[in-house]
């Protein structure tokens, strides 16, 4: 009797664990082999110039759940770009950071892709508006992003766009100790509100956190903060493919 | 005797505390409002920089487009006229007039861009395409900085309307800041020749 109850509990737990691992299946827009290439290219730019080039992909301008100060979901790619650039909390390798680019240098670039609407947006930080003018950002997108996207080579298109943007930014002497580490962000293809047992923080399912916490094992729920990064004000260019 | 002096001391301490608290509220409120006003003004200056950038850019776009646009010349005239009207409003420094003129100009620019994009020759011209990209970039900058100005103005307006700012704001000479909004009603009907 006792043994069967125990077995049942073990089975139920195993089922939850396996289903949490299996169910959040997501298809990604950027082919996985290119994610690392893009990350490496952006890291090199960060090391050489201290500028941060971030790639952000949303499946659609509707349903991404990113809201402005008035609480409405942002459905305009320019406004969404400004919001992600300046207000969104994005993970870096050592804690989260608000604002792309280094503080006071404002040297960030955001490449935002809305898949369903087939729109791209390059948002340039205040500090780089001289190095990457609106016209230059548009040319880079027209030369690399648009033709490769039209062939369906999304990762490759983003890679060459990041490299070309990086080439516009002058390098600085000495390396920067404050590299960002992560440069590619992609939200899930379809936004589905998760059931309670699938909600997870930092890769751990919520029920496991509650279990560990109830056993007295300390789990940090909030990551460290890096503070404020760079700022932008709508500079750059927009288009479709 | 002893009780009386104790009472005096208690009353004096209570009075001091009340005066101190009042002074602290008074000063922090004042400083807060001054800071909010300064950031709203700084943000207004950012909007102004971008409006000026648009003002400087329009003649270049109009000049480049004039070579190609033949039978829809009125759109070029309109945009040039509204640009001058904006500059005149800017001279007066009256926020409502500036808002009005900006709104009218703003309503015309998308029409202008659509007209240009409808001309295949024009679209093929690298010069015009670059100018249009710049014009679009400027429009985006304007709307971004304007949203930020409105946020800053709202913070300031709330601070002088809400307690305890409302007690002193009028005495300090602070007045509500006007929001900067595109006037949808200001769009002129299309001219039929």
CA atoms of A138 and A239, how far apart (whole Å): 8
pLDDT at B183: 47
- Would you call A236 and B137 a contact, using CB atoms and an 8 Å cutoff? yes
Q: What pLDDT score was predicted for residue B95?
A: 75
Total count of domains within chain A: 1
Indicate which of A71, A83, A233, A240 best probes the interface with B, i.e. most B CBs within 10 Å of its own CB: A233
Domain of residue A86 covers: 24-191+230-240
Instruction: Check A238 against B46: CB less than 8 A apart.
Output: no
E strand or H helix at A111: strand A108-114
Judge whether residue B65 has pLDDT over 50.
yes
Among A79, A100, A80, A81, CA closest to A89: A100
**A202: CB partners within 8 A, 6+ apart:** A223
Q: What is the pLDDT of residue B190?
A: 41
**Which residues does chain B have within 8 Å of residue A235's beta carbon, measured at their own beta carbons?**
137, 140-141
Task: Indicate the residue of A69, A79, A235 with minimum beta-carbon distance to B137.
Answer: A235
Residue A18 lies inside a defined structural domain of this protein:
no
Judge: A236–B140 Cβ closer than 8 Å, yes or no: yes
Ordered DSSP codes for B46-60:
HHHHHHHHHHHHHHH
A104 assigned to some structural domain: yes
Residue A211 lies in a domain: no
Asked if A82 is an interface residue toward chain B (Cβ–Cβ < 8 A), one would say yes
- Is residue A114 in a domain? yes
Q: Is residue A9 part of a domain?
A: no
Q: Looking at the domain assignment, is residue A57 inside a domain?
A: yes
Given CB atoms, is B117 within the 8 Å cutoff of chain A?
no
The CA-CA-CA angle for residues A189, A94, A191, to 5°, reads 15
Distance between start and end Cα atoms, chain B: 99
- Kindly state the tokens that stand for B128: 């015009």
Altogether, the residues listed in chain A come to a count of 241
Q: What value of ipTM does the predicted structure carry?
A: 0.76
- What pLDDT was estimated at residue A20? 57
- Whole-number Å distance between alpha carbons of B130 and B120: 15
pTM for this one? Answer: 0.76
Residue A154 located in a structural domain: yes
Find the length of chain B: 193
Q: Can you list the residues of chain A whose pLDDT is less than 70? A: 1-3, 17-27, 174-177, 188-204, 209, 214-225
Percent share of chain B, pLDDT over 90: 41
The residue in chain A having the minimum alpha-carbon distance to the alpha carbon of residue B146 is A233
* Residues B147-189 pLDDT 10s: 899 999 999 999 988 888 888 888 888 888 888 765 444 344 4
Q: Residue B56: pLDDT above 70?
A: yes
Q: Determine the pLDDT at residue B90.
A: 87
Minimum-distance CB partner of A238 among B136, B141, B145: B136
Q: What is residue A218's predicted lDDT score, i.e. its pLDDT?
A: 54
Residue that the structure tokens 């010349």 belong to: B73
In chain B, what residues touch A138 (CB-CB under 8 Å)?
A: 129-130, 133
Tell whether B143 lies on the interface with A, counting CB pairs under 8 A: yes
The CATH number covering residue A109 comes to 3.10.310.50
Interchain contact, A235 vs B151, CB within 8 Å? no
Residue A82 lies in a domain: yes
pLDDT at residue B181, rounded to an integer:
67
What is the pairing mode between strands A108-114 and A119-125?
antiparallel
pLDDT in tens, B6-35: 999 999 999 999 999 999 998 999 999 999
Which residue in B has a C-alpha nearest to residue A69's C-alpha? B151
């Amino acid at each position: 009797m006792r043994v069967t109850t125990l077995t049942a509990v073990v089975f139920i737990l195993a089922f939850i664990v396996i289903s949490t691992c299996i169910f959040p299946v997501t298809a990604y827009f950027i082919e996985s082999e290119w994610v690392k290439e893009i990350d490496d290219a952006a890291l090199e730019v960060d090391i050489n110039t201290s500028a941060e080039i971030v790639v952000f992909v949303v499946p659609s301008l509707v349903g991404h759940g990113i809201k402005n100060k008035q609480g409405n979901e942002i459905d305009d790619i320019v406004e969404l770009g400004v919001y992600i650039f300046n207000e969104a909390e994005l993970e870096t390798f050592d804690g989260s950071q608000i604002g792309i680019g280094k503080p006071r240098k404002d040297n960030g670039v955001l490449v935002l892709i809305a898949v369903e609407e087939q729109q791209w947006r390059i948002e340039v930080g205040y500090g780089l508006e001289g190095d990457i003018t609106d016209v230059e950002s548009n040319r880079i997108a027209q030369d690399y992003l648009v033709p490769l996207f039209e062939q369906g080579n999304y990762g490759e298109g983003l890679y060459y766009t990041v490299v070309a943007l990086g080439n516009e930014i002058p390098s600085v002497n000495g390396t920067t100790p404050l590299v960002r580490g992560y440069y590619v962000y992609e939200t899930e293809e379809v936004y589905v509100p998760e059931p309670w047992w699938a909600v997870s923080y930092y890769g751990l399912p919520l029920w496991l956190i509650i279990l560990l916490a109830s056993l007295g094992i300390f789990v940090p729920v909030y990551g460290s903060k890096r503070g404020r990064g760079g700022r932008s004000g709508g500079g750059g260019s927009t288009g479709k493919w | 005797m002893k009780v009386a002096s104790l009472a005096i001391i208690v009353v004096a301490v209570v009075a001091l505390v009340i005066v101190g608290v009042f002074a602290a509220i008074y000063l922090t409120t004042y400083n807060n409002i001054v800071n909010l006003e300064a950031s709203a003004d700084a943000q207004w200056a950012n909007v102004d920089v971008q409006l000026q950038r648009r003002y400087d850019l329009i003649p270049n776009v109009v000049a480049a487009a004039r070579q190609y646009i033949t039978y829809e010349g009125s759109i070029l005239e309109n945009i040039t006229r509204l640009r001058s009207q904006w500059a005149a409003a800017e001279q007066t420094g009256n926020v409502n007039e500036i808002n009005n003129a900006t709104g009218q100009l703003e309503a015309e620019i998308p029409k202008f861009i659509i007209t240009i994009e409808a001309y295949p020759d024009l679209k093929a011209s690298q010069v015009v395409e670059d100018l249009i990209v710049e014009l679009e970039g400027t429009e985006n900058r304007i709307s971004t900085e304007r949203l930020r100005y409105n946020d800053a103005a709202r913070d300031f307006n709330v601070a002088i309307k809400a307690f305890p700012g409302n007690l002193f704001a009028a005495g300090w000479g602070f007045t509500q800041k006007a929001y900067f909004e595109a006037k949808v009603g200001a769009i002129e009907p299309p001219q039929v020749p």
